[in-house]
Amino acid sequence: MLSSTKMRNEQRSLYVVVRHSRNPAQTFKNVWLDDDRLLSITTTDEIGRLCLKAQRDCKVVYVHRCGWDKVPPTICCSVSVQHVQSIPGSPKVTFSDCTVLNNPPAFSPERGQSFYNA
């Protein structure tokens, strides 16, 4: 039986936190179609597993793009996970069905935080 906390977490959506494509300080290699649409990311093993679960559960993933220069942070788009390539230490996640949102985020991740559930 699942605990109520675990059930609430599983019902919440995954938000991946990425840096703006024009920010020169990039932690991972991300491929953008434009400033608002994310095509793929290299990421941590943990986020790779979370994206694989979202794919298996047919859940949308939201992209929290951090602010940079004069551009504020935003939930720039929602995506579907198309493929997770398992590369230990830096899996590559490819997305499809990208929908531009540009919604203000309701949550501010801490520095270094690369995902959250909301």
Amino acid, single-letter form, for residue 59: K
Task: Please give the chain's pLDDT, 118 residues, in tens.
Answer: 444 444 445 679 999 999 999 999 999 999 999 999 999 999 999 999 999 999 999 999 999 999 999 999 999 999 999 999 988 889 999 999 999 999 999 999 999 999 999 9
Q: How many domains does the chain have?
A: 1
* Domain assignment of residue 109, given as a range: 4-117
